[in-house]
């Protein structure tokens, strides 16, 4: 009697677990779900800006390049991002991005040195950061 009761309780516990497992397989198509690391909010735009027309796929942050640092300005409406290539797949460089409607857009870069005239429409603190970092040069006019 005790054995039959134990079997019934075991089945009552086992049947819902098997049903959940089968439902999960049906929903996911039998594929184990994957989780992705959270990406830097500018990584997608950086990858797009690094892509050449001959490339088959976008460069990937953490695989092809590393975001060395990101500095935000003017309540995060402007960002200066410095990247380092990994395994010589991407050249080191710098990007300046501005946020429009929740999306960052590249306005300068990739590059390591820019004419000061390219920054005239940028906020003063962004210009000063670029100047202090040695990323700007003055064009010579004759």
- Better-predicted residue by pLDDT, 122 or 55: 122
pLDDT-based confidence at residue 141 (cuts at 50, 70, 90): low
pLDDT tens-place string over residues 90-101:
889 999 999 999
Question: Would you say the pTM of this structure is higher than 0.85?
Answer: no
pLDDT tens-place string over residues 13-36:
888 888 887 888 788 777 776 776
Find, among 139, 90, 125, the residue nearest to 110 by Cα. 90
pLDDT tens-place string over residues 64-76:
999 999 999 999 9
User: How far is 42 from 70, CA to CA, in rounded Å?
Assistant: 9
- The encoded tokens of residue 3 equal 């054995």
Cα dihedral 23/24/28/29 (nearest 10): -50
């Amino acid at each position: 009697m005790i054995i039959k009761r134990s079997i019934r309780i075991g089945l009552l516990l086992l049947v819902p677990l098997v049903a959940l497992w089968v439902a999960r397989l049906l929903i996911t198509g039998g594929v184990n779900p994957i989780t992705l690391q959270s990406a830097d909010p500018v990584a997608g735009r950086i990858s797009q800006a690094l892509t050449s027309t001959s490339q088959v796929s976008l460069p990937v942050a953490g695989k092809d390049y590393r975001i060395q640092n990101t500095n935000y300005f003017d309540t995060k409406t402007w960002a200066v991002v410095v990247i380092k290539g990994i395994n010589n797949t991407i050249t080191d460089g710098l990007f300046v991005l501005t946020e429009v409607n929740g999306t960052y857009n590249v306005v300068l870069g990739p590059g390591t040195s820019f004419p000061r005239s390219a920054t005239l429409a940028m906020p003063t603190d962004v210009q000063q950061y670029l100047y202090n970092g040695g990323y700007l040069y003055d064009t010579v006019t004759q």
